Amino acid sequence: MLRAKNRVLQNICYQRKIPVIVAYEGWDAGGKGGNIKRVASALDPRGYEVKPIAAPEPSELARHYLWRFWTRLENDGHFTIFDRTWYGRVMVEPIEKITPQERADMAYREINEFERWLTDWGAVVIKFWINIDKEEQYRRFKQRENTPSKQWKITDEDWRNREKWDEYEKAVDRMIKLTSTDIAPWTVIEGNDKK
């Protein structure tokens, strides 16, 4: 029933030329990819694009960090689904010493303004944080290591990031507190149970 409702809503957005931006963030092994796959499978493939976001390319580093997201937005009436987003600026970059903390602090205002510009354009901004606890992440990491078809999904970097769980948890709490707005609220999804 919800799958059919998604298709109806997508058609309404298309007819009214309403862009929809869906932003996924969450813990490593939280289930972002599976969640995106389930949501997208209910949509007409002609009306959406999934944009996986990795570390910026050198050409992207030469520009404002939000530039690479502006350039990936789909047309009016289409869905843009981001698998990781502009929130890396305030979560990952200061912890990994890529961006100084004072510059990351400025990004909260910039991000809220960016999302305001998107809604002023007419877009609907939907933000999901997929939350799992530390024990569940460990279980999923071990499962990936022990399953040949999933070993590509676990890297040394995943284990290294896990060692900074407490730092990331503080960053996530702050991010949600400072960027959950009336126009673009966060929806936190309990991800320990994927269903």
Instruction: Please indicate, yes or no, if residue 139 is contained in any of the structural domains.
Output: no
In the sheet where 20-26 sits, what is the strand order?
48-52, 79-83, 20-26, 124-131, 186-190
Predicted pLDDT of residue 123 = 98
pLDDT above 90: residue 74: yes
Does residue 150 form part of some domain?
no
Residue 159 lies in a domain: no
- 43 inside domain: yes
133, containing H or E segment? none
DSSP category for residue 84:
S
Condensed to tens digits (0 to 9), the pLDDT of residues 46-63 reads: 999 999 999 889 999 899
Please compute, for residue 84, the number of CA atoms within 13 A of its CA located in the half-sphere on the CB side: 15
Number of domains making up the chain:
1
Is 50 inside a domain boundary?
A: yes
> Does residue 78 surpass a pLDDT of 80?
yes
Q: What is the pLDDT of residue 3?
A: 83
Which pTM does this prediction carry? 0.94
Residue 195 has pLDDT above 80, yes or no: no
Distance of CA 55 to the CA centre of its chain: 13
Instruction: Give pLDDT, residue 166.
Output: 97
Q: What is the pLDDT of residues 135-149, one digit of tens each?
A: 999 999 999 999 999
Q: At what angle do helices 101-121 and 88-95 cross, to 10 degrees?
A: 170
Average pLDDT over residues 19-23: 98
Sign of dihedral through CA atoms 191, 195, 6, 31? positive
Residue with tokens 């350039």: 71
What CATH number is given to the structural domain containing 104? 3.40.50.300
